[in-house]
Structure 1
């Protein structure tokens, strides 16, 4: 039976991985025959409308008149123009919702039959617009909606909730009809801190689609891109490692990232901060001869495209995500903790995809079965 399903995920902005996992989950649910809407839950603004308007006017004057070349005041809509274009074309998104009350009103009007919370770090408090919303506090106990967590991720194996957050979320999560998580550590966190001992492990939504599904989005002929890199947190160690690997492999380095970020401004030209199209990012993984990344989704797309790769552990963002998927697929050796050394065998050895692909196919089926069973 066709259902109207709400997808609740983190705000879709600069993060390629966050956007593409949302696209993948939407695509799978629609392939099942359902209608989907992704909820654009943005951050609350605690100030009055007058204060908000005054703040916007002040920022506009600073940006346009007093400091037009200061990266701090560059227009985010211009920097994210390509991401916004991809979202508008490929994701069925609600209007921006900025409060719990507005979220409740929206659900009351739309008559959803189910809500899926997932996936990318949706249960990590410090990344959340409102962590309680992602445990569906706005629905209430009497709601008849099916409540499902799909591949919900805490992003880390550490428990980052406060005492109060733990108490509230552990009560709210009891209302979920089914819970699945993305990392092995998530099962333990659900059991130990949320009193849900029935959480199961499933794949990140991006892994539910195959390379050809993403190639249809690219719409560009294949070409050789050499050594493709996707590094979220650049450092001298990582850049030195990439340079050494490129020379060892005799490959040109290619990437699909802005030259600079607002967190690390080194230019007064806004063009240097504009994020390139997601389609070029997807093409990088498809057409690379080798991949180096410190990103979870960079690792995932290397696997989807059957590429030789190494993943640099990103401890600040959480290592458990990498460890969980690579362990499931027997690819733990591709994970690098020490950036000052490199095992040359990793550069010249192809991952054994003859063994990886059947494992991935089995996990893909189990993950889709979880959704089919619980919707």
Structure 2
């Protein structure tokens, strides 16, 4: 079956988000292992912000989403994209182009990441020709949506999707509110693959670093005090561990520029794979630490980005790993060094994966 996936293409063109590009890579890889032909929809709207859009933002009380981020490593991201990702030959720059000449496919998938954090038509596959399958895989609504107008608009958009799956349990409740009682809770695409699947791409790289903590940060940090940076550095000094820092989407401004590295996507995976510990504020920092079976701590985000914490709360609760959420009142060494029963975690992941596999199989064969 030919499958076209709408995901985070536009986002990784402006921000070097490792989770966004690797979750697509994971979904593509999994579906190809099942015998499908998969390609990523290259959609990057260049339409100007219209008066209609501004009015909708005002009525829905949405904050401006058109923030500008500097992509720190566009060359290496593009090289990864060219080498490993299958894409539509044409890059669409407007919804009208997409609607009038959609890429040919037997099925269209929207997801993962926060594809439903907005209401634009392409996010809900409204361009798909009649008679083709449409489904969401691990779609996320992002921040909670409230209000009568939102309910009407989301109800209208979700009618276009034949089969719905979401990445957070709260997404099930949202879908019910929007008239869809058939939504299924599934795992993020990054968890569809095994550690050995990723090692095929990174094991040929030789690790020459001394033992280190990999710290990966996303979104603006109000202050280093909020992420207990002094405690982290003191622990690293005490245990003679280096600290390797990757910070993106505004987090980089909180650190000394010379201390930050901007690896390519596979190097980022390698850094998690080889780390003694991972300390992160990122959902995918957590997800890939789990895949690689590396002890980790996740430090919840604060301020405007705090709504993103829900993503890893769900996952860690489901896997019995809530103790890996950092508690500022406790010594960091006791939390970081606490052992993880990876066999137990893997058993719980397998249950969730089975639900996910079944959803994809049934949706794509009905």
What's the TM-score once normalised by structure 1's chain length?
0.80
2:116 pairs with 1:123: yes
In the TM superposition, what is the alpha-carbon distance from 1:343 to its structure 2 partner?
4.9
What is the root-mean-square deviation in Å for CA atoms of aligned residues? 2.9
Distance 1:44 1:169, change over 3 A: farther
Q: 2:346 — aligned with what?
A: 357
Give the alignment of 1:90-239 within 5 angstroms. Answer: 90-94=84-88, 95-107=90-102, 110-125=103-118, 131-139=120-128, 143-156=130-143, 158-159=144-145, 163-192=148-177, 194-218=178-202, 219-222=204-207, 225-232=211-218, 233-234=220-221, 235-237=223-225, 238=227, 239=229
Alpha-carbon distance in structure 1 between the residues aligned to 2:86 and 2:5: 10
Match for residue 295 of structure 2? Answer: 308
Residue of structure 2 equivalent to 1:60: none
Give the direction of change, closer, same or farther, for the CA distance of 1:325–1:261 in structure 2 (3 Å limit). closer
In structure 2, stretches of 5+ residues that fail to align are 51-67
Alignment match of 2:79 (pick from 68, 85, 88): 85
CA distance in 2, matches of 1:77, 1:348: 34
Highest Rg: 1 or 2?
Answer: 1
Distance 1:253 1:365, change over 3 A: same
Higher alpha-carbon deviation: 319-328 or 91-100: 91-100
Q: Aligned match of 1:7 in 5, 8, 29?
A: 5
Counterparts in 2 of 1:167 and 1:98: CA distance versus 1, 3 Å: farther
8 Å Cα contact 1:293-1:310 kept in structure 2: yes
Instruction: List alignment gaps of at least 5 residues for structure 1.
Output: 49-72
Q: Is residue 246 from structure 1 mapped to residue 230 from structure 2 by the alignment? A: no
Question: Do the aligned residues in 2 keep the contact of 1:132 with 1:169 (CA within 8 Å)?
Answer: no
Q: Distance in 1 between matches of 2:245 and 2:324?
A: 20
* CA distances 1:349-372 after superposition (whole Å, capped 9, x unpaired): 121112101111222122111101
CA gap of 1:92–1:331, structure 2 versus 1, over 3 A, is same
Quick check: 1:285–1:301 contact (8 Å CA) kept in 2?
Answer: yes
